[in-house]
Amino acid sequence: MRTEIIYIDKDNIDKVMLGRAAAIIRAGGLVAFPTETVYGIGANALDSEAAKKIYVAKGRPSDNPLILHISDINDICLYAKEIPDKAWMLATEYWPGPLTVVLKKRDIVPYETTGGLDTVAIRMPSHPVARNLIKLSRLPIAAPSANISGKPSPTKASHVYTDMNNRIDMIIDGGMASVGLESTILDCSGDMPTILRSGAISRSMLESVVGEVALDEAVCSECDAQLKPKAPGMKYRHYAPNANLTIVEGESSAVTAKINELTAAALAAGRKVGIISSKENAGFYIGGEIVIIGSREDEKAIALNLFDVLRSFDDMGVDMIYSESFEGAGLREAIMNRLVKAAAYKVIRCNYSAVQKNITDYECKAK
Ligand code: TXA
Ligand code: MG
């Protein structure tokens, strides 16, 4: 299949051009489009055959449900039933935006879209290209992130092209995403709203609207790989660059010293090494391909750049990647959730001994 690429300016939308993309969706085809979080591969969410094509294009297991994207908050009633007040309050507060709510599905939504579940995940994106595409197609659009299953999500059209060329009908290039991490997923189908995937809408932002919100125990960046997540997709290997990634956390100078030590050993063994560095620490590294992800102070930039940085190491063909850690609350929790998964849970913690005499007096252990 030949993949056509079109350009749409999000600030000046060419509806005739975008109408061609909508026609592909209506005809049962696949169109990648920008959202504020990451690019998605869209298909008619009510057409089981179209939904099946998404799984083939991504190489995605068929038990991993898709998010249904709408352009009007009231459309939630068309696809979900028994909508709790808390879900309405959150949708009213944070839509359009990077929040997905899981609710009981109506029969009109096929099981191919929901991965066989009786619930459906719904989101109203804020990106003007996404919203106009949904409106013009007059359909809800099922859209997973537009990457090959297991790869980092795409934040630019060029990422989509790398993974999806010749697998889908069209790619709409609408510029870079503005958030860079996928939406927060909140399960509102039970008694207690529960976060199934962290994102830019943090737990405290949700709790400020509806009171207590639970966190699926498998979501946190601290927990181990054995816990089984409730969002089916979160159990698969994710966000992984080709190279082996290790995170080094702890006191800043101990971290840079340890990364330098690991880099020197890998270089001596003939390996090509990449380093994910904060702007502040970039000058302290003595070897390897150093990629600056952003300032430690600017968590939004780190979130936005994360997947692009991971993909850039694939382009460079590095064998090993060592990354600084960016732990903290809110958006940092979502950043670390993705980074720890990309590292397949390989995290080393380094600290200085109580009486530090020189730079080499740090101790590290695997977490
Ligand atoms: O920001 C986003 O959410 C992006 C953009 C394109 O909107 N989409 C996205 O979709 O990240 P995807 O398919 O890559 O991730 C959707 C996640 C998966 O982990 C899936 O298992 C979970 O949502 N999910 C979907 N429906 C669900 C349901 N009914 N119950 C529990 N988890 C669900
Ligand atoms: Mg995904």
E-strand ranges in 109-266 read 119-123, 141-142, 170-173, 184-187, 194-197, 214-215, 244-250
For residues 138 and 140, give the distance between their C-alpha atoms in angstroms, rounded to a whole number.
7
pLDDT band per the 50, 70, 90 thresholds, residue 361 = confident
Check pocket membership of 195 for ligand 1, CB cut-off 6 A.
no
Find the 144 Cα to ligand 1 centroid distance in Å: 6
Confidence band for 346, pLDDT divided at 50, 70 and 90: very high
Contact between 256 and 271 under an 8 Å Cβ cutoff? The reply is no
d(CA 312, CA 242): 10
Site to probe by mutation for ligand 1, drawn from 81, 145, 216 as the one with most ligand atoms within 8 Å of Cβ, is 145
Euclidean distance between CA atoms 239 and 241, whole angstroms: 7
Q: What pLDDT was estimated at residue 220?
A: 63
Closest by CA position to 129, among listed 169, 76, 79, 171: 171
pLDDT value at 98 more than 80: yes
What does the mean pLDDT of the chain come to?
94
Other Cβ atoms closer than 10 A to 316: 12
Index of the ligand 1 atom closest to the CA of residue 183:
1
Element (H, E) at 301: helix 299-316
Atom nearest to 105 CA in ligand 1: 29
- The CB density around residue 360, as the number of other CB atoms within 10 Å, is 10
Count of helix runs (H) and strand runs (E) in the chain = 11, 18
- Nearest ligand atom owner, CA of 199: 1
Query: What are the pLDDT digits (tens) for 288-300?
Result: 999 999 999 999 9
Residue-wise pLDDT for 263-296, tens only, equals 999 999 999 999 999 999 999 999 999 999 999 9
User: Does the beta carbon of 277 lie inside 6 Å of ligand 1?
Assistant: no
Please give the model's pTM, rounded to 2 decimal places.
0.95
Mean pLDDT score, 188-202: 97
- Closest Cα to atom 21, ligand 1: which residue? 233
Q: What is the pLDDT of residue 219?
A: 78
Distance of CA 50 to the CA centre of its chain: 23
Beta carbon of 293 within 6 Å of any ligand 1 atom: no
**Model pLDDT, residue 131:** 98
Query: What is the CB neighbour count within 10 angstroms for residue 18?
Result: 22
pLDDT reading at 235 higher than 80:
no
Ligand 1 close to Cβ of residue 325 (< 6 A): no
Mean pLDDT confidence for 325-330: 95
Q: Measured from the CB, is residue 198 less than 6 Å from ligand 1? A: no
Ligand nearest to the CA of 184: 1
Task: Report yes or no: 42 and 183 within 8 Å, Cβ to Cβ.
Answer: no
State pLDDT tens for residues 143-185: 999 999 999 999 999 999 999 999 999 999 999 999 999 999 9
Which pLDDT score is estimated for 357?
Answer: 67
Which tens digit of pLDDT belongs to each residue from 296-312? 999 999 999 999 999 99
60 burial level (CB within 10 Å; 0-12, 13-18, 19+): buried
Ligand 1: which of 67, 106, 228 to mutate, judged by most atoms within 8 Å of the beta carbon? 67
- What's the pLDDT at 221? 57
Local structure of residue 106 (DSSP, 8 states): P
The pLDDT, as a whole number, for residue 51 is 96
pLDDT score recorded for residue 239: 83
CA of 350 to the centre of ligand 1 (A): 34
pLDDT at 245 over 70: yes
The closest of 183, 238, 184, 232 to 207, measured between CA atoms, is 184
